[in-house]
Amino acid sequence: MPTITELDDAERAWVAERLALLGRADGDIVALGAAYDAALRGWTSVPPEERPDPNELINRLGVGFGEHVRRRAGLAWVVASDEHGTELALHGQPGDVLLYPANLVAKRWVAGETGVLPDLAAALIEQVTSIREQR
């Protein structure tokens, strides 16, 4: 199991900055999904050898996605560390729920999936709610 720690001031500022860069600190998943789709289409329209590193953009989109889920599922931003590394995550009790929003976005980006973020967010929120109702 990962070690869960609360965000420190620098990490909270980093999350806030990513949200500000997106221009949607309110967690609007429809707008975020459209921004993700447009960014992915733009990125894939460039020849592979000319594509910029998408990591910063994926992190921003992941934080925006996570903020939407966090607000609706009652989770908290945390840092999760295990033998594989340290990553920004969402955590909540009961049920010891742990989600990695940037990783969820990155996997879809690599797969070239569009039109997925709103439905993915809804499914995660439903799963978290279900887990908590069972506790």
Total domain count for the chain? 1
pLDDT of res. 94: 86
pLDDT (mean) for 81-107: 95
Q: Can you give the CATH number for the domain in which 114 is found?
A: 1.20.120
Q: In angstroms, what CA-CA distances link 19 with 15, 24, 27, 62, 110? A: 6, 6, 8, 10, 22
Domain region containing 114? 3-134
Residue 22 has pLDDT above 90, yes or no: no
Contact between residue 15 and residue 101 where contact means Cβ atoms under 8 Å apart: no
Cα Dmax for the chain? 50
Res. 24 pLDDT band, cuts 50 70 90: low
pTM of the model: 0.93
**pLDDT(25) > 60:** no
**Spatial contact of 20 and 89, defined as CB atoms under 8 Å apart:** no
* Confidence band for 27, pLDDT divided at 50, 70 and 90: low
Mean pLDDT of the region 102-109: 97
